[in-house]
Amino acid sequence: MNHHTPVLLNESIESLVTDKSGLYFEGTIGFGGHSEFILSNLNDKARFIGTDKDINAYEHCKNKFKDDNRVELFNASFTNIIDVSNISFIEKYDGIFVDLGVSSFQLDNKESGFTFREDVQLDLRMDKSKGEPASFYLNKISESEMVDVFFKYGEERNSKKIANAICNFRLSNKIMTTGQLKGIIEEFTPEKFLVKTLSRIFQALRIFVNNELDELEEFLEKAVSVLNKKGRIAVITFHSLEDRIVKNFFKEKTKDCICPPEYPVCVCNTEPVLKIITRKPIIPSNDEIKNNKRSRSAKLRVAEKI
């Protein structure tokens, strides 16, 4: 089975690997496509640490790389980068990479509960051992909180209408499945907008239950703190909310002064920490998009530690 086709493969690894004997980290090993390519660009002295929150992805990679003694993997969030590095006695990396979002396996696999194309438990957690499934929140949070989630994380214009319909439904039923949620939205969404609306609502719920944006911000700060001088950080994002966080974070870290503009002279003594390598994000070629539709929204940003 083809679990996942890695996106921007050459572009990301070309900009990430600067030392063939170096130390590398991938926070989102998924089904090992990028990891495998990173490893094929490294020599025997190199080391590679990988994490994934999803137990299926972790176990798949554990097996895939079982004979490669450069590799150490953890079933953990990439926000644990410092803890897992301590366990592996690594202080600093030469390259740190994340390929955000979900894998095709997670989207297509019924048991993962990510898809609205099948009627399954409405879960959407990447790590099913932590937190609560999406259905728990849909039955619990207030209508205004729900509107915020759909608007903020899904950029859905009909957030109020959808939240109101869900709250009416839950007066007499518990929402437990993707089919129920789809049914509620289907009732008042024109056929031609249905897939896009469902995609936005499912994305919003997924970001919310996995705390994706906060985790990304936490990770970026930690990652830069464990990057060697001249080491690279490369991030692939799949929607504008993530991309904005990465873009602003990189920009902020290039600044040599953060004093308020009305100060006549600089008093902050800020030193720039990063140099941006990709002025504009790298996006997939037309050929890549033709061969892998899921790559169409990918954006790669790379920065280097000064």
Site residues (vs ligand SAM, CB under 6 A): 4, 6, 27-28, 30-34, 51-54, 57, 77-78, 99, 101-103, 126, 215
**DSSP code per residue over 153-189:** HH--TTHHHHHHHHHHHTTTS---BHHHHHHHHHTTS
Q: Of 51 and 85, which has the nearer Cβ to ligand SAM?
A: 51
Give the contacts of 190 (CB within 8 A, at least 6 positions apart): none
CA distance 29 to 39: 12
Residue closest to ligand SAM when measured from CB atoms: 30
Q: In the bound complex, what is the minimum distance in angstroms from residue 71's beta carbon to ligand SAM?
A: 14
- Cα 261 from chain centroid (whole Å): 34
Q: In the bound complex, what is the minimum distance in angstroms from residue 303's beta carbon to ligand SAM?
A: 19
Q: In the bound complex, what is the minimum distance in angstroms from residue 184's beta carbon to ligand SAM?
A: 27
| 210: number of Cβ within 10 Å | 20
Q: Are 17 and 26 in contact (CB under 8 A)?
A: no
* Residue of 88, 11, 1, 56 whose CA lies nearest to 280: 11
CA distance 106 to 29: 13
Q: Of 101 and 284, which has the nearer Cβ to ligand SAM?
A: 101
Q: Of 101 and 154, which has the nearer Cβ to ligand SAM?
A: 101
Q: Of 51 and 158, which has the nearer Cβ to ligand SAM?
A: 51
CA distance 121 to 115: 10
Q: In the bound complex, what is the minimum distance in angstroms from residue 130's beta carbon to ligand SAM?
A: 11
Q: In the bound complex, what is the minimum distance in angstroms from residue 65's beta carbon to ligand SAM?
A: 12
Q: Of 122 and 207, which has the nearer Cβ to ligand SAM?
A: 207
Q: Of 25 and 163, which has the nearer Cβ to ligand SAM?
A: 25
- What is the identity of the amino acid at 282? I
Q: Are 256 and 270 in contact (CB under 8 A)?
A: yes
CB contact burial 126-156 (16+ within 10 A = b; e otherwise): bebeeeebbbbbbeebeeeebbbbbbebbeb
Q: In the bound complex, what is the minimum distance in angstroms from residue 76's beta carbon to ligand SAM?
A: 7
Q: Of 79 and 159, which has the nearer Cβ to ligand SAM?
A: 79
DSSP label at residue 170: T
Residue 303's SS3 state is strand
Q: In the bound complex, what is the minimum distance in angstroms from residue 101's beta carbon to ligand SAM?
A: 5
